[in-house]
């Protein structure tokens, strides 16, 4: 009798236990199967992180603001292509990733754009050896640079005269109005400098002793001298090197300013917009445009020690 009573008393607890187990069983059947990484997946993930690490570093380098970046595109592209070369030990996942990356960057630069990037790289004293090219390709790059220098020299006098005319016209515009600016510009265009007369000695011996070197010869001499320069360390700034050697290369230096001033990415300009957003807030909405320009300039260029 006591056994029956004890058994009957244990039935509610047994029923609760059974109900709980049944509820857990139903939940297991309702939940989908959760995929987990196996050992092969973990190994592939580690290889992919190692494979993509140079791309992360290259992105950070190309987004730099203080040094030229356009001359880095060709060397970094060559480095990525070497790292993405197929290997027999690659797993299918790594091999597919390498093929996708190579397919993506192989056709990005071609024609005149690629030639411009090669010329920018050649004008960077860190990479002027152009090791990724053969001898004929290197010669073609420096031949194009010499032609660009010649074109720049031919256009420079015209540009200087036009700038002088614009400055004179702007002065007259501020003092005499628009009509005065037009008259000043017309006078500047009509005025021509008289030809200088030869001295008696120049008239007699000028053909024999006054021969000047042709501009093309000077450009070739500078180019060859620059190519014989030792490459500077990668940690050095090429703009600093060109500033210190501008007197040594007076013909190449103006072209360098034109090439190396181009950023490789739009990140620096986007950072300027972000800086402007931090300066022009709702509490400072009455700032004049001139003051905003000065504040942005100081923020991007002033170093506080």
Question: Structure pTM?
Answer: 0.66
> What is the DSSP secondary structure assignment for residue 264, as one 8-state letter?
S
pLDDT beyond 80 at 240: yes
- pLDDT cut 70: percent of the chain above it: 70
Q: Which residue from 98, 105, 109 is spatially nearest to 48, judged by alpha carbons?
A: 98
pLDDT band at 120; cut points 50, 70, 90: very high
Q: Are 129 and 78 in contact (CB under 8 A)?
A: no
pLDDT beyond 70 at 21: no
Phi, psi of 120 (to 5 degrees): -65, -40
d(CA 299, CA 305) in angstroms, rounded, equals 14
Tokens representing 274? 């972000």
pLDDT beyond 60 at 2: no
pLDDT band at 4; cut points 50, 70, 90: very low
- pLDDT tens for 44-67 read 889 899 999 999 999 989 988 888
CA end-to-end span of the chain: 93
275: region left, alpha or beta (phi > 0 left; psi from -120 to 50 alpha): alpha
d(CA 279, CA 296) in angstroms, rounded, equals 8
Q: Are 150 and 162 in contact (CB under 8 A)?
A: no
Instruction: Write down the pLDDT at residue 213.
Output: 53
Instruction: Write down the pLDDT at residue 107.
Output: 80
pLDDT beyond 50 at 184: no
- For residues 287-298, give the mean pLDDT: 92
Instruction: Write down the pLDDT at residue 36.
Output: 79
> What is the DSSP secondary structure assignment for residue 288, as one 8-state letter?
-
Distances (CA, A) of 40 to 37, 43, 91, 93: 8, 5, 10, 10
Of 123 and 200, the structure prediction assigns the larger pLDDT to: 123
pLDDT band at 171; cut points 50, 70, 90: very low
pLDDT beyond 60 at 40: yes
pLDDT beyond 50 at 205: yes
d(CA 212, CA 220) in angstroms, rounded, equals 15
- pLDDT tens for 247-283 read 999 999 999 999 999 888 888 889 888 989 999 988 8
Sign of the Cα pseudo-torsion (234, 235, 238, 241, in order): negative
Of 240 and 159, the structure prediction assigns the larger pLDDT to: 240
Instruction: Write down the pLDDT at residue 303.
Output: 78
Average pLDDT value over all residues in the chain: 78
Q: Which residue from 272, 237, 269 is spatially nearest to 256, judged by alpha carbons?
A: 237
């Amino acid at each position: 009798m006591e056994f029956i009573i004890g058994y009957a008393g244990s039935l509610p607890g047994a029923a609760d236990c059974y109900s709980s187990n049944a509820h857990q069983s139903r939940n297991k059947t309702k939940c989908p199967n959760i995929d987990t990484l196996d050992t092969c997946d973990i190994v592939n993930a580690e290889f992919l992180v190692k494979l993509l690490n140079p791309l992360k570093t290259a992105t950070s380098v190309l987004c730099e603001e203080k040094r030229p970046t356009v001359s880095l595109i060709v060397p970094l592209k060559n480095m990525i292509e070497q790292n993405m070369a197929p290997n027999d030990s690659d797993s299918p996942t790594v091999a597919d990733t390498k093929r996708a990356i190579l397919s993506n960057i192989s056709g990005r630069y071609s024609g005149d754009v690629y030639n411009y990037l090669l010329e920018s790289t050649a004008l960077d004293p860190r990479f002027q050896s152009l090791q990724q090219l053969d001898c004929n390709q290197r010669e073609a790059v420096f031949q194009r640079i010499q032609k660009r220098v010649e074109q720049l020299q031919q256009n420079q006098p015209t540009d200087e005269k036009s700038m002088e005319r614009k400055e004179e016209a702007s002065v007259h515009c501020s003092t005499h109005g628009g009509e005065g600016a037009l008259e000043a510009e017309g006078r500047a265009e009509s005025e021509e400098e008289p030809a200088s007369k030869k001295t008696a000695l120049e008239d007699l011996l000028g053909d024999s002793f006054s021969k000047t070197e042709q501009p093309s010869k000077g450009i070739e001499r500078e180019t060859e001298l620059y190519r014989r320069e030792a490459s500077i360390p990668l940690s050095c700034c090429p703009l600093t090197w060109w500033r210190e050697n501008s007197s040594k290369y007076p013909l190449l230096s103006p072209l360098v300013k034109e090439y190396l001033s181009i950023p490789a990415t739009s990140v620096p300009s986007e950072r300027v917009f972000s800086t402007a957003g931090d300066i022009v807030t709702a509490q400072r909405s009455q700032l004049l445009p001139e003051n905003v320009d000065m504040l942005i300039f100081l923020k991007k260029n002033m170093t506080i020690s």
